[in-house]
Structures are given as structure tokens and as C-alpha cells.
Chain A
Amino acid sequence: MTTSGPQVLGTEHTVPEPRRYRYRWLWRLRHSPTGMLGAVIVLGVVLVVLLGAAIAPHDPELIDLKQRLVPPVWAEGGSVGHVLGTDQLGRDVLSRIILGTRVSLLVGIAGVALAMLTGVFLGVTTGFWGGWWDGLVSRFLDTFLSIPFIILALAVIGVLGVKGGNNMLRLILVLGLANWVIFTRVVRGEVLAVKERDYVEAARAIGQRSWMIMLRYILPNVTASIIVLGALQISTVIIAEASLSFLGLGVQPPTITWGIMLADGRDHLATSWWLATFPGIAITITVLGFILWGDWLRDVLDPRLRE
């Protein structure tokens, strides 16, 4: 590797820091192959969502019973018209995976956004004010932590009912409810440190209201952790959405999601392996993208969050 930076004795090489701070994140991305891979995957997934029907080779809901359970193109009996094969109703698997991306990403992002809003609000206020409010929320936190996510989701969905109503909205609500805890925990811890800083003391001294202090002095200083956590949580929430939809508790057909496709595929496992294989690969690639991208964001923005 050739470098133009100052050489320090005893080190093999030093990589120069670019002069312009504005582009430093880009420079760091270039030097992190896994971060790059993550960013490319995330970008690709977003493109698939935006283009959607335009790049799908077939209408994902078009039923063609003459083309039932056609294997993928490279397998025996496969057809070029259906690259990843067709399902039990003759619908094109590739097109359904492409359209399924939309729900997964939408629910993932909305669920995280809801958890983030609730969690950050509670984290900032409990960390800043402390007292009985902190005590109360902390107890709730402990309670929520003692219930595994799926169990909590089951309780809420059990009460609200599986059928009827807007099940996408219900799913987002459940995912938000199950994930606020981690935001509150991390943000509260950060706020406890930040609120001891001199500038917060100064703001207090000049008589700023506590809301103003929280918004203008505390929140901006915990934003990095929030962004990193948000990116990493998207991957968790995408898997959670797939799990709930797989169990028949999430989004309901005819909406296309990867979880529902996997549930359908499981019923035809003995004859048609591709139905349960490809949606799973789609989930894995998408989640992997968000994990790598989130890990990279963490290393750049907030290395302290590293376990």
C-alpha cells in the first residue's frame, strides 16, 4: 500500500486523514469493506422498494394454475419465464419477493421509528429528571425486559385479535411497544452523563426551562447513539415482522410478505424446496445489510456502544 502521510517509525504504514472533515465518513466507509457491503445492500433494498412493480417480471398476484410449482430456472423442469420458480397457485416467486420487500422495510422502519420516539422521550426525561418518574419507568423497563419479545407480542395481539382492523398498523404498534426498552435504557444512561456537563449547568444558570435544555443541549448530544441503535434495531424488527407474519399473527394475506411466503413454503416442503428457501435468503440478505451498515455507523459515530 502506498501512502503519502507522515511515516512514524515502528508502524508499518499510516493512512492519511483527509483534510476535509465533511467527507471523513465517506473516507471511513471506503476503508471498511463490510460497511461498504452493508451500505450497498441497504441501498439495493431501498431501490427494490422504490422500483417495486417496475422491476418485477410478473404480476405478483397473478394466479396461473397451469404453471403451479414450477422449479427455479436451473433445476430440472424450470422455465426461463420464472427465474425462481412459482408457488402453489402459479404465482412468480421472484416477483413476490420483490413486492414483499416493501412491507418488510416499511414495517421495519415504522416500528423502529415508533420505538425510537417513545424510547428517546422516556430516556431523556427519566435521565434528566430522575426521581419518581425515573423510578416508575425503570420498573416498567424491568417488567418489559422479563417478557421475551414474542411473548409480549402474543399477549398484545391476543387481546387485540388477529383478524379485522388494520393489521399493518397493529403490527407496527406491537413492534414499537416491544422495542422502546432498549432505546430508553441506552439514552437514559447517556443523558445521565451528559447532564453533568458544564454547558448544561450554564444553561440552567441562565434560567433556561428544562424542556429547552433537554431539546437544545441534551438531545443533540445523544443523537449519535440513537441513530446507531435505530439502524441496528431495524434488522431486529425486520426479523420480528417476518416471525409474526410467519406465525399468522402479523400482516394477513393477500398482502405479500416474506413471512407469509415462508409459511406457505413450509406446507410444500416435501415437493417444492424453493418456496421456503428464497424468501429466507431475501430476509437474510436484507438483515445482513442493515447489521453491517449499523455496525459501521457505530464504529464511525459512537464506538462506545460496542459491546
Chain B
Amino acid sequence: MTTYLASRLLQMVPSLFLLTVVLFALMRLGGDPVMHLAHPEASPEEIAEIRAAYGFDRPLPEQYLKQLRMMLRGDFGESFRFRSPALPLVLEKLPATMELAAVSMLVALLIAIPAGLLSAIFQNSPLDLGVTTTSTLGRAMPNFWIGIMLILLFAVHLGWLPVSGRLETTSIILPALTLGTSVATSLARILRSSMLEVIRQEYMTTAKAKGLHRWAVVLGHGLRNALIPFITVFGLQMAWLLGGSVIVEEVFAWPGMGRLLLNSVKVRDLSVVMAGVCVFALVVMGTNLLVDFLYTALDPRIRYSSS
């Protein structure tokens, strides 16, 4: 297990390395960095001086290595908007985003597991039709629009919940519902189809034959096996959810990383943008790793070796 963990962590290195290359290339594509640093009316001599001072006159590979060393130390440069280092600014917003992501995932699971399970057990029933129709519709609706409609209903019309912000504990309900429902649609779909496959397996018949209660068969033998493909999609959806959080945070003025990133993009505060992208990518990679370990817990047949 330890060797597997080490090899998985090692596998992340090339991806992270490429990420830094892509980010470096993007930053350089964005124009001459000296122009961001120099005074608007700086003379050519002053510009050349700044260029030399920051090392921008060196060959590109050398500049990249310098940048890489800085990134590895967690130094993404200073945000020109806040006049402070970029990475702490991003990390400060990480808990709010993770809180939203975790609660949304919980909402998604609470909806998707019963919905997918019941629609598979009662295949072709009105309930099944309802679940599949809703999940197709959910696939077609942009999640930020679902958010706006939820605000319209619960905040504006009924006045039950706060419109936006993160001041009250109830503030998280609407954004988490928005993100959660959009993830729930695909999770319910995948659980339904994998459950349908599991139901036809012989061990299900055996379990029934030995007189187990219907729900013991479904939950103990069925769900456990159907969860394996479900977990794969769950991992992918986690990445999707973190991306979706950007737009949901904007809709609900949730003070997380996504909103910071968005506002930084609008004013081209590039050091914050780059730090934000790196943190997001790391969180996604970490989640995928976690999902891999969930497999072993669920399916003892899967054994990890270092090969």
C-alpha cells in the first residue's frame, strides 16, 4: 500500500511539471511582463534596467527554471491588486470553497443514491421514468441558471433563505443545492445503470434464494458492487464540482477561491490567477488519489502493487 501511494504520488510529478510549463507559456503569451512592472511613461533605459533586474533578459529556459524554483517554494509573486503574496491570498479562500464542495457532494449523494437505487430496482416504473427524465433535464440545465431559479423561488419569492453571502449558516443551502443537484443527475444515472447490471448477476439470485430480506440483498450485495463504477464517476464529478464552484460562488457571492480567481482574471492579476489554478489542480489530483483508495475499501479484489 505504501509503495502504491508512493508510486501514485510520483505519477503526479510529470503532470504537475507540465502544468507549470503550460502556465509559464501562458504567462509569457500574455505579453511582456516588464510592461506590467514598469511605469507607463518609463524610458527605454528604465525598461531595460527593470528587465535586467528581474532577469527577463535571460534565455527562456533559464527564466522558466527560476519561475519553477519560485513556484516550488510557493512563491507565485505578488498580487498587484492586494499588494501581498498571491498564494496566501488563495489559500485563505480555500476553506470556504472546500466547505461548499463537501456540502454539495453530500447533497448530491443524498439525492443520487436513493434515486439511482430505487429507479434501478423498480425499472420502467413511473418512479424510474421520473428519475431518468429529471436526470436528463438536469443534464440540459446550466447549473448557474438552476441557482438563479432557486434564488428566485426560495429567497425572492418565499423569503425563506438568504440570497447570497456566507454570513448565516443557512447561507450554504442554496449554493450547495445548486451544485449538488447538477452533480446528482449524472451520479444517479450511473448508479442506475450499474445497479441494473448487478441485479442480473447470479449472486443476487443466490442471496435471494437463501432467504435474505429483499433490502438486505439490494443493499448488502447489490449496492456494494454497483458502487465501484459509481466511485469512478464520483472522482470525475469532484473535479467538475470544483470547476462549477467558480460560477456558483459568483452567483451566490460565496467568498471562495473561485470568486477570487474570477475577479483576478477580470483585472488580470496574473500571479493570483496562476496560484489559484495550481491550487485547484492540486486539489483535483488529491481527490482523484483519495478516490483510488476508496476502491480498495469497497472491492477487496483490487490490490495495489507498485508495478
Contact = CB atoms under 8 A, between A and B. Distances in A.
B152 A277 contact: yes
Given A147-B284, A151-B261, A280 B243 contact: no
Interface string A253-295: 0000000001001100110010011001001110110011000
Given A151-B246, A151-B277, A143 B145 contact: no
Given A269-B148, A288-B137, A147 B277 contact: yes
A150 interface: yes
Contact of A288 (B140, B148, B156, B243): B140
A240 to B, nearest CB: 9
A247 B139 contact: no
A240 B211 CA distance: 51
> DSSP majority for the B interface?
helix
Given A148-B280, A151-B243, A270 B140 contact: no
Interface string B244-277: 1011001100000010011011101010011011
B285 interface: yes
Contacts of B14: 139, 142
B144 A156 contact: no
B151 interface: yes
A148 B23 CA distance: 15
A162 B151 contact: no
Which interface residue of B142, B151, B243 has the most chain A CB atoms within 10 A?
Answer: B142
Interface stretch (B26-34, B70-78, B86-94): B26-34
Contact of A146 (B244, B270, B288): B288
Contacts of B141: 280, 283-284, 287
B193 A150 contact: no
B145 A155 contact: no
A158 interface: yes
Contacts of A243: 142, 144, 247
Interface string A152-166: 101111111110000
Contact of B136 (A145, A152, A159, A288): A288
A157 B273 CA distance: 10
A307 B246 CA distance: 27
A132 B257 CA distance: 37
A140 interface: yes
Nearest to A246: B144
A179 interface: no
A143 B15 contact: yes
A248 B156 CA distance: 24
A48 interface: no
B281 interface: yes
Query: Max chain B CB contacts within 10 Å: which of A148, A160, A161, A162?
Result: A148
Nearest to B243: A148
Contacts of A157: 265
Interface residues of A, number: 46
Contacts of B250: 247
B142 A140 contact: no
Contacts of A247: 246-247, 250, 262
A280 B142 contact: yes
A234 to B, nearest CB: 12
B251 to A, nearest CB: 7
A159 B246 contact: no
Given A151-B243, A155-B273, A246-B144, A162 B266 contact: yes
B18 A287 contact: no
Given A273-B152, A277-B152, A159 B140 contact: no
A273 B193 CA distance: 37
A54 B262 CA distance: 38
A154 B148 contact: no
A269 B265 contact: no
B261 A146 contact: no
Contacts of B149: 276-277, 280
Contacts of B239: 145-146, 148
A131 B141 CA distance: 41
A161 to B, nearest CB: 6
B107 interface: no
B31 to A, nearest CB: 8
A161 B268 contact: yes
A187 interface: no
Interface string B9-37: 00000110011001100110110000000
B165 to A, nearest CB: 15
15 contacts: A139-B18, A148-B240, A149-B243, A150-B258, A155-B23, A155-B26, A159-B27, A161-B268, A247-B247, A269-B156, A270-B156, A276-B145, A287-B141, A291-B140, A307-B189
| A-B pairs, 7 with minimum CB distance | A148-B243, A280-B145, A159-B30, A288-B140, A158-B265, A287-B140, A158-B273
Given A276-B145, A276-B148, 13 more contacts: A139-B15, A148-B244, A149-B243, A150-B244, A151-B261, A157-B265, A161-B268, A243-B142, A276-B149, A280-B141, A283-B141, A283-B145, A291-B139
